[in-house]
Amino acid sequence: MADQYINDVVLFNGLDKRNKANFIIKRLTEKGLNPKLQSFSSCFGEGKNIYVEYGNNYENTTIISAHYDGESFFDNSGGVIALLNVSKEILVNEFSSTSLVLLFTDQEETYQQGAANFLRDNCKYYFTKNINIDGFGIGDELYKVSELVKNSNSEIDLFLCDSDEFLKFGIPSTTYFSAFSNDYLKSNRNNNIYSVFVKYHSESFYFKKYSPFNTKSLFQKLNWEINKSSKHE
């Protein structure tokens, strides 16, 4: 599993954006899912979001997202492949009181244009929660960006991820990223928790070196967090 995950991430990360979109569509289709496209225009050019719908309870919908327009293994090729790998398992679970949307956004790197356009064009949904994956594949534990921001003394604009846009629309949002707990705790003691993300983001060799050892565990934790968070009483 780990080797295949690494191979997929390396392959995906080397593609241009058009072929990344085709890769996502192909993988979702192979899983028996029905991906849909949303094309949009912004001041940064043409974009395409890819999404899968499950259920028809539009009044109570959880949206699970990962952006695919990044240019590094950690941000966010690892997150895209992770969500693709758990997508079928998420959607086959029975959610009697909620609907789910899996969303792969474009133009996150340019002020979250993909997330903004998706939300503006899908008013039929009442989104009650967003679970966002941004920075995944290295480490032994999952962390929440909200915790990273809360514990950081540095001036950062809520991480500048798709969670920003969901929050602007009044949708509660949590972004998950992975890290080694030792790195996380060390940076926390130094009051610079953001440095752990920057470290993995900027040095791609970390991904190939460390990701294979904990992939299964990270997937299990991600799947558990998604299922726990997306079930509503």
Place of tokens 């996380």: 184
Q: Give SS3 for 13.
A: helix
Supply the pLDDT for residue 233: 43
What is d(CA 136, CA 200) in angstroms, rounded to the nearest whole number?
Answer: 10
Burial class (CB in 10 A: 0-12, 13-18, 19+), 92: exposed
Task: Pull the structure tokens for residue 153.
Answer: 């003394």
Whole-number pLDDT of residue 214: 59
Q: Give every strand in the sheet of 99-105, ordered side by side.
A: 36-42, 45-54, 99-105, 61-67, 127-133, 173-179, 141-144
Query: How many other CB atoms are there within 10 angstroms of residue 163's CB atom?
Result: 26
Determine which helix (DSSP H) or strand (DSSP E) holds 50, and give its type and residue range: strand 45-54
Token pair 């809360």 is found at: 150
Cβ atoms of 156 and 196 within 8 Å: the answer is no
pLDDT of residue 157: 44
Q: At 42, list the tokens.
A: 């912004």
pLDDT at 7: 86
The three-class DSSP label of residue 77 is helix
Determine contact, residues 104/69, Cβ cutoff 8 Å.
no
CA 138, CA 29: separation in Å to the nearest integer?
27
- Say what the pLDDT of residue 152 is: 47
pLDDT per residue as tens, the chain (233 positions): 667 888 898 899 999 999 999 999 999 999 999 999 999 999 999 999 999 998 877 788 889 999 999 988 888 999 999 899 888 777 766 555 678 899 999 999 998 999 999 999 987 778 888 989 988 877 777 787 755 554 444 444 445 689 889 988 989 888 888 877 777 666 655 556 667 777 776 656 566 665 554 566 667 777 777 766 655 44
Domain positions in the chain are 2-230
Q: What is the pLDDT of residue 17?
A: 95
Residue 95 backbone phi and psi in degrees, to 5? -120, 95
Class of domain 2-230: alpha beta
Report helix, strand or coil for 63. strand
